[in-house]
């Protein structure tokens, strides 16, 4: 009787005690809305022709330096290089020092930044003086001098663009990194390496076999790849400087998609030694093999999170191939793409917030998307421009390299900003596959 | 000597009174205890420092007006380059008033040859066929014509979409802010919205040193009129507010 009487009192007291907390939770969930500026435009920058400090004429090196600067600033996506035809100043007469620059001429064409370059060529040697000005104030913001040979002109330009980007944003520039890719050579497929602007293209394997799926070692000194040199798809490592490839994994069946963890302690790869494609990890020297997945379906294409604690991969365990994420020990597997029906080739951003992947959409076209591994939000980056595949993040996480057939014929390598904007072609030769962006090299 | 009475010998009225006294005593103690607990909880809650409210982020995008897209399909972009072209200039109606073209007037329309007419007729048919193949825009029937995604799942919805749409229409950066500085601008502000949609108060929780930017935001927020919030979130909009991040 007493208990029956007390029960409602208890319930009432609990209700009174709990209500404020519940009400607080409900009321205090504050919505956050992001509003982007509708009239955002990139930083307008003028890059006049590099000046030959000795003769005043435009040299081949000067043209190469100028073109490299213009390409890099455009590629960076936060700059708009103003059309050189609109420049009012005569670059052969205007000097490098602030006192000799008529800034009103640069203000008139809408420039806010101005890059001036002076080159001194003596025989094979080259001295370069790079300066960056704020046009409105006429103030010199940055000056760098470099010395080397005539071959170094392009490298100097890449270095200076990195310096300007670091000065303005505090983030490291990407223009001294490299891209490895597979390209068909006769009946074989060999590995090639190029600069971010597609220049300095050179072949790093020449074994006459089928070489596939390059991935950089953590120090950027070499490339892991799968090769049929010994008639089985084994995993090798080759130094960038050249030399014989070293066997990393030669298990029976597939040894593919080798990718080194960001801390450099492990290599994740796909093996089919037990009959079915599964994800494994091993030490970089091939020892301590650990199986992470054990499914009837295909598990493949591992990619590491930047903290080396998680691995994203492709699995068809739920029917269609989708992107999954698991802990680095194989636990806590969860699906992160729940849309589309053919998602593959994941690459985890060095920033950790996104995984880029290739997906076939309902029009049977391959395009590039990103997915946030935590919220599962998917964004499309390419659309209506041929097939676009095999994304790989720059070490900054701000750009993505990929291959595309948009130009017709053989696939080319393109680079775009991480939001899909500013897509630029960097190769002309064609026939490239599976590009992989290096880590920072300097 | 045993002074206790056998139970059977206790009169019924005395026993009932004793039971009632016990019940009153227990209820009294219970009330005091529960009152103490409730009071304690209330005092503890009053003394607790206010916690920052948890937040629920809303994407910057609005879903486009159009037929509903299958949510299992991958999203499509609705960037400006995919938007329909602007409407052509107005076409004058034929009033039957034929005027002879002035031969000196270079802007006068030229007579079309039969071959050209036939060619155009054919083109017209082809155009009709092509137009019939153009797909109906995808998005959401309740979407925005200026929406930038077909993907309702990743877009602002409900009153958040209303706020976003209104702010997008009002947020203009001053032309005097150099382009080089625009990309680094950012401010966070909490808006407290009245029942009729007026901004009751706003509070910057992150300011940018650029005075022009902050001034433009303040001016806009002081005159901003939002549509009235739905009844179920009126109190939340008024008391907790909504946080807006302005960035390039």
Q: Final residue of a domain: which of A135, A169, A203?
A: A169
Give the three-class secondary structure for A165: helix
Does A3 reach chain B within 8 Å, measured CB to CB?
Answer: no
Report if residue A286 sits inside a domain.
yes
Distances (CA, A) of A119 to A1, A58, A127, A149, B45: 100, 10, 6, 11, 71
Min CA distance, A279 vs chain B (Å)? 26
Lowest mean pLDDT among A40-49, B4-13, B61-70, B83-92: B83-92
Most confident by average pLDDT, A69-78, A152-161, A372-381, B47-56: A152-161
Lowest mean pLDDT among A40-44, A93-97, A159-163, A401-405: A40-44
A165 and A187: one domain? no
| Residues B36-54: tens digit of each pLDDT | 888 877 776 666 544 444 4
Which pLDDT value is given to residue A277?
A: 95
Which pLDDT value is given to residue A321?
A: 96
Report if residue A270 sits inside a domain.
yes
A157 and A184: one domain? no
Report if residue A442 sits inside a domain.
no
| Residues B145-171: tens digit of each pLDDT | 777 677 766 666 678 888 888 887 777
Does B50 reach chain A within 8 Å, measured CB to CB?
Answer: no
Partners of A314 in the β-ladder:
A300, A323
A186 and A153: one domain? no
- Cα gap A398→A349, rounded to integer Å: 9
Using an 8 Å CB-CB cutoff, list chain B residues near A38: 168, 171-172
Q: Final residue of a domain: which of A169, A191, A220?
A: A169
- Cα gap A341→A338, rounded to integer Å: 8
A193 and A310: one domain? yes
- In this prediction, residue A29 has a pLDDT band, given cuts at 50, 70 and 90, of low
Average pLDDT over residues A321-333: 97
Chain centroid, CA A377 distance in Å: 20
Instruction: Report the b/e string of A199-231 with b at 16+ CB within 10 A.
Output: bebeebbebebbbbbbbbbeebebbbbbbebee
Which pLDDT value is given to residue A93?
A: 78
A23 and A42: one domain? yes
Which residue from B minimizes the CA distance to A28? B53
DSSP class per residue in A28-78: T-EEEEEEE-TT--PEEEE-PPPEETTT-SPPHHHHHHHHHHHHHHHHTSS
Which pLDDT value is given to residue B119?
A: 59
Does A83 reach chain B within 8 Å, measured CB to CB?
Answer: no
Partners of A130 in the β-ladder:
A117, A144
A151 and A202: one domain? no
Distances (CA, A) of B57 to A28, A149, A336, A438, B217: 14, 53, 19, 34, 21
B212 C-beta neighbours (distance < 10 Å), count: 16
Min CA distance, B117 vs chain A (Å)? 34
Higher pLDDT, A344 or B33: A344
Nearest to A120 by CA among A150, A92, A159, A93: A150
Min CA distance, B136 vs chain A (Å)? 15
Average pLDDT over residues A292-312: 96
Residue with tokens 């159009």: B66
Report if residue A349 sits inside a domain.
yes
pLDDT at position A235 over 90: yes
Predicted TM-score (pTM) above 0.80: no
Q: Which of residues 205-244 of B touch A (CB under 8 A)?
A: 235-236, 239-244
Does A138 reach chain B within 8 Å, measured CB to CB?
Answer: no
Which pLDDT value is given to residue B48?
A: 53
Which pLDDT value is given to residue B50?
A: 46
- In this prediction, residue B26 has a pLDDT band, given cuts at 50, 70 and 90, of confident
| Residues A101-136: tens digit of each pLDDT | 999 999 888 898 999 999 999 989 999 999 999 998
A160 and A191: one domain? no
The torsion of the CA quartet A286, A287, A292, A297, rounded to 10 degrees, works out to: 50
The residue among A8, A32, A353 with the most chain B CBs within 10 A of its CB, best to mutate, is: A32
Task: Return all residues near A160 (Cβ < 8 A) that are at least 6 apart.
Answer: A69, A115, A130, A132, A144, A146
Tokens describing residue A84: 């050189």
A303 C-beta neighbours (distance < 10 Å), count: 25
A244 and A120: one domain? no
Lowest mean pLDDT among A62-66, A212-216, A400-404, B185-189: B185-189
Q: Please check whether residue B148 is in contact with residue B53, taking contact to mean a CB–CB distance below 8 angstroms.
A: no
Number of domains chain A contains: 2
Which pLDDT value is given to residue B136?
A: 66
What does pLDDT average to over chain A? 89
Chain centroid, CA B129 distance in Å: 39
A127 and A193: one domain? no
Partners of A344 in the β-ladder:
A358
A390 C-beta neighbours (distance < 10 Å), count: 26
User: For position A22, which CATH number holds?
Assistant: 3.40.50.10070
> HEC profile for chain B?
CCCCCCHHHCCHHHHHHHHHHHHHHHHHHHHHHHHHHHHHHHHHHHHCCCCCCCEEEECCCCEEECEECCCCCCCCECCHHHCCCCCCCCCCCCCCCCCCCCCCCCCCCCCCCHHHHHHHHHHHHHHHHHHHHCCCCEEECCCECCCCECCHHHCCCHHHHHHHHHHHHHCCCCCCCCHHHHCCCCEEEEEEECCCCEEEEEEEEECCCCHHHHHHHHHHHHHCECCCCCHHHHHHHHHCCEEEEEEC
Average pLDDT over residues A42-62: 86
- Cα gap B220→B235, rounded to integer Å: 23
Report if residue A67 sits inside a domain.
yes
pLDDT at position B213 over 90: no
Q: Please check whether residue B155 is in contact with residue B62, taking contact to mean a CB–CB distance below 8 angstroms.
A: yes
What does pLDDT average to over chain B? 70
Tokens describing residue B83: 């938007």
Q: The sheet that has A424-425: what strands, in order across it?
A: A388-393, A399-404, A412-417, A424-425
Q: The sheet that has B55-58: what strands, in order across it?
A: B55-58, A30-36, B242-247, B187-193, B199-206
Which pLDDT value is given to residue A8?
A: 39
Pairing of strands A322-327, A310-315: antiparallel
pLDDT exceeding 90 applies to what percent of chain A?
A: 74
Average pLDDT over residues B127-137: 59
- In this prediction, residue A289 has a pLDDT band, given cuts at 50, 70 and 90, of very high
- Cα gap A261→A332, rounded to integer Å: 19
Q: Please check whether residue A50 is in contact with residue A62, taking contact to mean a CB–CB distance below 8 angstroms.
A: yes
Q: For residue A365, what are the domain limits?
A: 178-437
Q: Which of residues 327-386 of A touch B (CB under 8 A)?
A: 338-340, 359, 361-362, 367, 369, 377-380, 383-384
Nearest to B148 by CA among B77, B46, B247, B248: B77
Lowest mean pLDDT among A186-190, A195-199, A322-326, B103-107: B103-107
Which pLDDT value is given to residue A225?
A: 97
The torsion of the CA quartet B229, B232, B233, B234, rounded to 10 degrees, works out to: 60
| Residues B97-126: tens digit of each pLDDT | 444 444 444 444 456 666 666 655 655 556
A78 and A161: one domain? yes
**A31 and B154: CB-CB below 8 Å?**
no
- Cα gap A391→A380, rounded to integer Å: 12
Which pLDDT value is given to residue A315?
A: 96
Q: Which of residues 89-148 of B touch A (CB under 8 A)?
A: none
A86 and A120: one domain? yes
Average pLDDT over residues A257-284: 95
Which pLDDT value is given to residue B141?
A: 77
User: For position A377, which CATH number holds?
Assistant: 2.120.10.30
- In this prediction, residue B12 has a pLDDT band, given cuts at 50, 70 and 90, of low
A235 and A380: one domain? yes
Q: Final residue of a domain: which of A139, A169, A199?
A: A169
DSSP letter assigned to residue A150: G
């Amino acid at each position: 009787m007493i208990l029956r009487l007390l029960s409602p009192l208890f319930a009432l007291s609990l209700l009174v005690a709990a209500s404020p907390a519940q009400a607080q939770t409900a009321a205090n969930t504050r919505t956050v809305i992001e509003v982007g500026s509708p009239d955002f435009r990139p930083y307008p920058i003028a890059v006049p022709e590099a000046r030959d400090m000795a003769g005043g004429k435009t040299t081949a090196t000067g043209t190469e330096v100028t073109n490299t600067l213009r390409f890099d600033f455009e590629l960076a996506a936060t700059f708009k290089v103003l059309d050189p035809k609109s420049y009012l100043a005569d670059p052969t007469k205007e000097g490098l020092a602030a006192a000799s620059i008529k800034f009103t001429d640069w203000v008139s064409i809408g420039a806010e930044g101005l890059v001036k370059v002076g080159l001194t060529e003596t025989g094979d040697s080259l001295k370069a003086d790079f300066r960056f000005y704020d046009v409105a104030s006429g103030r010199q913001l940055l000056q760098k001098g470099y010395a080397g040979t005539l071959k170094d002109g392009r490298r100097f330009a890449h270095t200076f663009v990195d310096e300007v980007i670091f000065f303005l944003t505090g983030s490291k520039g990407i223009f001294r990194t490299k891209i490895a890719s597979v390209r068909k050579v006769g009946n074989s497929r060999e590995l090639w390496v190029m600069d971010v602007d597609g220049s300095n293209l050179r072949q790093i394997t020449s074994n006459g076999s089928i070489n596939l799926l390059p991935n950089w070692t953590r120090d950027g000194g070499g490339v892991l790849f799968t090769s049929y040199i010994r008639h089985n798809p084994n995993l090798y490592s080759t130094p960038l400087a050249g030399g014989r490839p070293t066997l990393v994994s030669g298990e029976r069946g597939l040894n593919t998609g080798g990718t080194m963890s960001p801390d450099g302690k492990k290599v994740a790869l796909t093996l089919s030694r037990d009959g079915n494609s599964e994800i494994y990890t091993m030490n970089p020297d091939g020892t301590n093999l650990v199986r992470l997945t054990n499914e009837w379906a295909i598990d493949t294409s591992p990619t590491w999170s930047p903290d080396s604690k998680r691995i994203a991969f492709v699995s068809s365990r739920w029917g269609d191939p989708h992107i999954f994420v698991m802990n680095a020990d194989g636990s806590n597997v969860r699906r992160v793409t729940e849309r589309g029906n053919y998602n593959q080739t994941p690459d985890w951003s060095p920033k950790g917030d996104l995984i880029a992947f290739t997906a076939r959409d309902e029009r049977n076209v391959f395009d590039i998307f990103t997915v946030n591994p935590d919220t599962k939000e998917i964004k499309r980056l390419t659309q209506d421009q041929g097939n676009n595949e095999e994304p790989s993040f720059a070490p900054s996480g701000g750009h993505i390299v990929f291959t595309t057939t948009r130009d017709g014929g053989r696939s080319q390598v393109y680079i775009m900003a991480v939001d899909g904007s500013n897509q630029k072609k960097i190769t002309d030769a064609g026939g490239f596959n599976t590009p992989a962006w290096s880590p920072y090299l300097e | 000597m045993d002074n206790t009475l056998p139970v059977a010998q206790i009169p019924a009225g005395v026993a009932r009174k004793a039971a009632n006294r016990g019940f009153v005593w227990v209820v009294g103690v219970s009330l005091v205890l529960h009152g103490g607990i409730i009071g304690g909880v209330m005092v503890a809650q009053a003394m607790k420092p206010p916690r920052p409210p948890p937040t629920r982020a809303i994407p910057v995008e609005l879903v486009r007006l159009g037929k509903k897209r299958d949510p299992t399909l991958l999203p499509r972009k609705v960037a400006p380059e995919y938007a329909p072209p602007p409407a052509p200039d107005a076409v004058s109606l034929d009033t039957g008033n034929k005027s002879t073209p002035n031969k000196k007037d270079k802007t006068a329309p030229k007579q079309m040859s039969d071959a050209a007419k036939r060619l155009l007729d054919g083109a017209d048919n082809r155009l009709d066929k092509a137009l019939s193949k153009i797909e109906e825009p995808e998005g959401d029937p309740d979407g925005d014509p200026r929406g930038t995604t077909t993907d309702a799942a990743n877009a602002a919805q409900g009153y958040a979409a209303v706020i976003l749409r209104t702010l997008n229409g009002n947020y203009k950066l001053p032309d005097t802010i150099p382009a080089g500085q625009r990309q680094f601008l950012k401010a966070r502000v909490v808006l407290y919205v009245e029942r009729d949609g007026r901004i009751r108060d706003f509070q910057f929780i992150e300011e940018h040193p650029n005075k022009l930017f902050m001034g433009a935001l303040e001016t806009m927020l002081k005159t901003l009129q939002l549509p009235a919030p739905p009844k179920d979130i009126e109190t939340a909009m008024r008391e907790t507010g909504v946080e807006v991040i302005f960035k390039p």
